[in-house]
Structure 1
Amino acid sequence: MHSQLFAIIDVETTGGGIAGNRITEICIALLKNGEVVDKYTTLVNPERDIPQHITALTGIDNEMVADAPRFIEVAERIESFTKDTIFVAHNVSFDYNVIRGEFRLLGQHYNRKKLCTVRLSRKLIPGLLSYSLGRLCSSINIPHLNQHRAEGDVDATVILFQRLLSLDEDLSVINTFLNPLSKQATLPPHLPAEQIEELPEEAGIYLFKNQKHKVIYAGKAKNIKKRVLSHFYDKKTKEYHLGQETHFIDYELTGNELLALLVESEHIRKHYPKYNRAQKWPATTYQIISYENQRGVIQLALGKTKVLHDSVSTFYNRTEATEKLEEICEIFKLCPRFCALQSSSEKCSHYRIKNCEGICEETETVEEYNLKVQAAIQSLKENNLSFAIQGKGRTEGEIAFALVVDGQYRGFGFFDRSDSICTIEDYEPFMKLQQASYHTHAIIRSHLKKNGERNLVYFEKPLQLANHRINTMKKSALTDSKEDVFAHWGETL
C-alpha cells in the first residue's frame, strides 16, 4: 500500500450547484511512499462568467482565465495524470463530483477510488473544534499559504495527508475507508460514521442538524437508517448541500408510520427546517365562529385562518364550511343574515333558505333566537367525534396511539399493553400534546381512508341539547352517525 499512488487534488470553481459548477483552477500533487513525486496545476477557462463573490474569495477573475485552456483541452492530461491513483481531497465529494461533472459534459466517464481528509482527520485526530482546512492547519501547525487557490490548498492538504499516514502506519483506517462496503467516502464530511452505525432500522423520524445543532431537515421513515443513507447516496444538488451542512443526526422512534408522519409534521412546524419544502407553509382553515352583536344576538360567521383556534367547528376547504353553515341555518331556522350568509343589513333574502322566523325584523325575541343558535352550536360540537387510533409501539409490549378529541388532533403517546385504558382521561397521562394543523388533519384523513376503522377506539359522549324546542327529528338530521362522520373524514382527503 505504501507504493500506492495518491493524487491530492483541489479545484476552484465558479460556484453554484454541482450541476452548474465549472472549474477555474485545478492542482494535482502525486504522492508515493509519502513523498510528492509530481505536480500539475493550471488555470481553466470555465466558459462562463465568474461571480464577484467568488472572485473576492479566490482572487480569480474573468481576465485571469480568459486565455487559460478550456477543460476539454486539459481533460486528457488530468485523466492520464490521475490514472491508477486514489483521489484524495479535503471534502472529497466536492472536488470529485465537480471533476466528474466536467468529464460528463464531454461525454466521458471519470471514476477513481477516493479518500476524504476531513473524514480521515476526524477519525485520526479527534476532538478538534473545526475540521475546515484553514482551522485544521492552524490547530496542528501546518503552513497554509495562498488559501482558496488550488495550489496553496493542495500543498497544505499534502502535509496534512502525510501526517495522517504517519498516524495510520499499518493503513488499517485508510483501508477501511477505501472498502466499498463501508460507504465512508459517501458520507458527509462532518458526520462521524458512528452516528450512522447507531441509527435504528425501525420506524420513526430523523433530524439533520448543522454545526450549531439547528435542525435543517426533518424526515420520517419506516427504516430510519436506510432512509438517512439514501440522502447521502443521492447525487442531486440539494442532497449534496444538505450533506455538507450536516454535523449531527438525531432520531425519535414512533413504532409506526402514522405517528412518524404526525411527529415529522410537528418538527417541520416547530423548526421550519431549511431543506424541507412540504408542510412549511400553513394551509388555510375555515372555522365557524360565534359572537354576540350589540343587540345581544348570537351570530355565526365563517372565519379564515392559518392557525387553529377554538371555534364551533373547523373545516379544511371553504365549500365544505359554507355548506355546513347553510345546513345548520336551515335545520335550526336561523337567519341567513346573522349567519354571515347574506352581506346586506336588510331583511334576510337568501336564495334557498327561507325559514327565518323573524329575528332580522325583530318579530322574534333575542332570547328565543339565541336558544336555537345554542342548540345549533351544541349539535355541531357533538358532530365532532373523539377517538384514538392505536397501532404498533416501539417495543413488543407497547401500544402507540394518536388521539382525536372533538374532531381535533390532540397528540400522541405510548402505553403498555397491561395498562387499563378505557376513557379519554386514561390516555392523558401517556400523551404528548401536539398542535393540530391542516397537515395533521390531512395525515389522519389519509390514514382513515387507507385503513378504515381498524384499530379505532371511539369515545361516546352524552347528548346534551340546549334547545328543548328542537325536536328529535331535527337533531338526528344534523348529527351524523359514526359511519357518516367516518366517511366524511375519508372522503374529504
Structure 2
Amino acid sequence: MYAIVDIETTGGKFNEEGITEIAIYRYNGHEITDQFISLINPQREIQPFVVNLTGINSNMLRNAPKFYEVAKRIVEITEDCIIVAHNSAFDYRILKTEFKRLGFTYKRKTICTVELSKQLIPDMESYSLGKLTKALGIPMSDRHRASGDALATVKLFKMLLNKDLDKTIIKDAVKIEQKSKMAPNLNNIVDEMPSDTGVYYIHNADGEIIYIGKSKNIRKRIIQHFTGTNSKSKKIQKLVSTVTYEKTGSELAALLKESAEIKKNKPIFNRALRRSIFTHALYAFTDSKGYINLQIDKSDRDDAPITTFTTRASGKHFLFKAVEDYNLCQKLTGLYNTKTSCFKYEVKECEGACINKESAEDYNKRIEQLKDKYSYDNKNMLIIDKGREISEKVVFLIENGIFKGMGYFNLNLQINNSKILKSVITPMQNDRDSQHIIQSYLRRNKRLKVIDLYKN
C-alpha cells in the first residue's frame, strides 16, 4: 500500500518551514482507496514568493486546523504505507519535522518519483512534476496546490509501476507489509482479486515472486491455483503469503508482460516459458521457377516465419483458409502432394501456378498480400488495443520489424508524436517469444487497430 503525498509550505529557513496545505491519497497500486486533503494553519509567516506560487495566503489559513489537530488522521491514513512523493526527501522531512515538534517520532519507508522516473524514463528534458507530466501526456490541474500535484503524482506513479518490469517496487512493498501481518487466509486473498484481464504475481512471506501468470479473469485463475490438487498447486498453496496483480486491459499486453517478467524474475514455479507453446510456423521460400511456396514447419528454424501456431494442425487449418481467401495453389502451399496439377485446378478454382500456367509474378502478388497481412517483418507500425480504463488505450511499437515495447496513453494524447510515444513506451525485449505472441495475436484479432507509423 502506498500513500501519495504532496505538501505546500510557508518557505523560510531549513527545518523552520510550516505546512500550509497537505494532500494524501492512499493507493493500492490500482485505485485510490482513501484520501485526506486539508489547508493547515502553520502559525507562522508565509514567504511572499510562496504566496505568488501557490495562491495560499494567511487569510485563507486563519480558520484552518493546526497540524496537531490533523496529526492523528495523517498517522492513520499512512499506516503500513510507503510514502510516495515527487522529491520525497522534502515532503518526508517536513512531515518528520512537524511530528518532532509534537514529540512524536514519525517513520515510514519512502519512494521518490523523481529518482524512479530517472531510472525508468531516462533522457527526459526535465524531471520537474509539471514538465514531466506534460511530456508524458498526464493531465494535471491546480499546479502548485497539494491536491492537484498529489493526483498528478498518483498518475505518474501508476505509469512507473507499469514500466517496472523487474517488479522491484512491488516486491519491496510486499516485504514491508508482510512483516506486520499474520499468515493470510486464502479466501481473503481471493476476495481482493479483480475479475479483469492482467498479470498476477504470487509472493512468499519474504516478498519474493514464486509464480507469475496471466489471465482474462485474474480472480478465477487464482481460485484455480488455490483449489488445485496437483503437485505445483499444493506447493503454491503452502508458500503463498500474498498475491499482487497488474491490470492490462489488453490480452496482448498481459501475454507480453508475463513472458518478459518471467524471464526477468525467474520464479521457482514457472517452467521455461513460451517457446514450446508456439511449436509450428508458416514459412515462405521461392522455388526454381520463381514461385513463392508456403510451408508449415517446426518453429525452431533460423529464418523468420510469417506467423506461428500452437500445433501443426492449427497451422494447416490456417493454410486451408488462406488458399480460399487468396486463391492460392494447393500444391505450392504443401497441401496437395502431386507432380502435376493440384485438385483445385481440376475443378477450375486454381489459376494454374502448379503447372506454370499462371505467371509467377501474378501468383506471387497474392502471396505478398498474405505475408503483408500476417507478418510485421520490416514494418513500422503501432498496434492499438483496449486499455485498463475506458479513457485509455495501450500501444505496441514495432520499428523495422522489431518489437520495441508497449505503453498506455490517454485518448486525448497525440500518440503519433514521436517524443510522447518514446516516453510512454516501456522498452521490452524483441525475442522469439514476443514475436510469436504478437504474430499469433494479430492473426486471431482481425479487428485490431494497426497504424502505419511513418505513412504520409
Shorter-chain TM-score range: 0.3 to 0.5
Alignment TM-score, normalising by the size of structure 2: 0.39
Alignment TM-score, normalising by the size of structure 1: 0.36
Which protein is bigger by CA-based radius of gyration?
A: 1
